Structure 1
Amino acid sequence: MDRVTDVNGGVDEPGWDVDPDDEIAPVVEMAGGQLRLWREGAGLRVAEFGQRIGYSEDLIRKVERGARIPRPEYLEKVDQVLEAGGKVAAMKKMLAEARYPKKVRELAKLEAQAVELSAYRTHNIDGLLQTEEYARALIGTQRPAYSADEVERMVAARMARHSIFERSPAPELSFVQEEVTLRRPIGGRMVLRRQLEHLLDIGRLRNVEIQVMPTDHEGHAGMAGVIEVLKFRDGTAVGRTENVFAGRPVSEPKQLRIIELRYGIIRAQALSPRESLVFIEQLRGET
């Protein structure tokens, strides 16, 4: 991911650089070409156009050659200045997915196809369970630090994945969280409290089970780290776990069996879903 914040004359340049090897690059290039045709059709040179919309010439040139993904507000301003009647602003929907990092888009596609999802987390609350403010605070703790622009891009991508809860038919979702992830006040006490309240709401959904692994357990099958398993309608699956198979995603049945066995034992060793909701409720009262 790029760590570049473009500033020109004190004016932030909204957008994200495009990886030429990214599958989304042709879409961004096509959108840029359309924006250039709209500007030229209005008889405006880049310098004059930049003054009218309030953005730098450098940014406009990057957008028009497909090297930069424009933010929604950029498209709205262009639409307004060119009096395009919403035709330019309509590109926001087409470019929405392009805003997200490639790895996130790939993960979201898998989640959109999964009929079952299982996840065990050791240090942070699972991304699918995070509130927006918790996600923003959590991403903000990473070092080297991301720019404010990058943080917002990553938060938006994480929130977009939450559409999995709106699917019909709903997939079966199972999460096991280490107790410490529910106690660490990422973003402050109130952010944590609202996060716990969100977990209670999600945990009451009929297709979701959230379990807590108490810290006072002497040991359990998840000591080796994070586990993820996605199962699909055609019977295939993909899984990943730290410290096994080099941490890479695997889909071979014998390898998946090891991951699923480990996750099954973890679930058996954790508090039950009902006990876990009671536990989270108690933590909320203490926060």
Structure 2
Amino acid sequence: MIDGDTDLDDEEAGAVVRAVARQLKLWREAAGLTQTEFGRAIGYGEELVSSVERGRRIPRPEYLDAADEVLGAGGKVAAMKEELAEVRYPKKVRDVKRLEAEAVEICSYNNSVVDGLLQTEEYARAVFASRRPPYTEDQLEQHVAARIARQAIVRTTTAKPLFSFVLCEATLRRLIGGKVVMRGQLERLSEVARLRNVDLQVLPLHREENSGLDGSFRLLKLRDGAAVGLSEAPLTSRVFSGPKETTALDMRYGIIRAQALTPRESLDLIEKLRGET
């Protein structure tokens, strides 16, 4: 019922968590409750209450709801759920999410797995579960939750940016999570491909030319006319915004789109593979 330890190197998250921790402690003391009494009242142990009040643990929404009721805070403690909502996820995820929120166009090429914005929860869990060394169960669930939370930008009905996704055909044929999970993932792609602000293309394996062999990347075009490139490699990720680099990435993406199937042809292939899975 409590999230994992806070990242001590994440200054932004740490500041928010410490502020919430101070408020929780002040409310408890004002109610005249010891940590043991308070923990018993809300269904948690003294050690966990202490960890929360020292800013070592991030309280889940259920914790804050229970605390609000026991302390008679009238919604003031429960309202802190909003402050913790963003910092609950790793800093890298928050930074990418903010960039995506500023984008008018998001371009993505992936040759290993389906883009994170398009993944089903089951597919995302299978992707993270394949990591070696493995994540703990808490870490796994945190990463899955963060990935699904980012997808709100695709699901929202207002202020949508334009999306362009190019997926290597290999990502559609790789049975990550097994046939049932992959069938659900292909169904998700079929739904997203029909959205008016989404162009989804597949780069087929039989193409003799493939300008995306260097690896997966994303290009975000922002409201102010700037562009940001994102690339990931094992154990590291890179963000760059220099005009020389982003222009080169934009050119590469244009070539990859030209090498890929059209959106209509790509949807037909997705439907075909879904029938075969």
Inter-partner Cα distance in structure 2 for 1:140 and 1:247: 19
Aligned 8 A contact 2:86 2:94 in 1: yes
- TM-aligned CA deviation for residue 220 of structure 1: 0.9
Counterpart residue number, 2:147: 158
Task: Name which of 227, 231, 243 aligns with 2:221.
Answer: 231
- TM-aligned CA deviation for residue 252 of structure 1: 2.0
Task: Name which of 3, 8, 18 aligns with 1:19.
Answer: 8
What SS class does the counterpart of residue 160 from structure 2 fall into? coil
Task: Name which of 164, 181, 195 aligns with 2:185.
Answer: 195
Counterpart residue number, 2:38: 49
Quickly say closer, same or farther: Cα 1:64–1:150, change in 2 above 3 A: same
Matched, 1:255 2:245: yes
Task: Name which of 203, 208, 218 aligns with 2:208.
Answer: 218
Aligned 8 A contact 2:17 2:84 in 1: yes
Inter-partner Cα distance in structure 1 for 2:232 and 2:199: 22
Counterpart residue number, 2:60: 71
- TM-aligned CA deviation for residue 138 of structure 1: 1.3
Aligned 8 A contact 2:229 2:249 in 1: yes
Calculate percent identity across the aligned residue pairs. Answer: 55
TM-score, normalised relative to structure 1: 0.89
Inter-partner Cα distance in structure 2 for 1:85 and 1:72: 15
Counterpart residue number, 2:254: 264
Amino acid in the other structure paired with 2:36: A
Q: Number of matched residues?
A: 274
Question: 1:141-193: per-residue Cα shift (whole Å, max 9, x none)?
Answer: 11111111111211111111112121633211101111111122222211111
Counterpart residue number, 1:37: 26
- TM-aligned CA deviation for residue 242 of structure 1: 6.5
Aligned 8 A contact 1:69 1:98 in 2: no
Task: Name which of 235, 259, 282 aligns with 2:272.
Answer: 282
Task: Name which of 110, 132, 135 aligns with 1:143.
Answer: 132
Counterpart residue number, 1:80: 69
* Structure 2 unaligned spans of 5+: none
Inter-partner Cα distance in structure 1 for 2:119 and 2:10: 30
Inter-partner Cα distance in structure 1 for 2:229 and 2:4: 33
- TM-aligned CA deviation for residue 137 of structure 1: 1.7
The worse-fitting range, judged by mean Cα deviation, of 195-204 and 251-260 is 251-260
- TM-aligned CA deviation for residue 229 of structure 1: 0.5
Moved over 6 A (4+): none
What SS class does the counterpart of residue 11 from structure 2 fall into? coil
Counterpart residue number, 1:4: none
- TM-aligned CA deviation for residue 250 of structure 1: 2.3
Inter-partner Cα distance in structure 1 for 2:4 and 2:63: 9
- TM-aligned CA deviation for residue 266 of structure 1: 0.7
Amino acid in the other structure paired with 1:272: T
* Structure 1 unaligned spans of 5+: 1-11
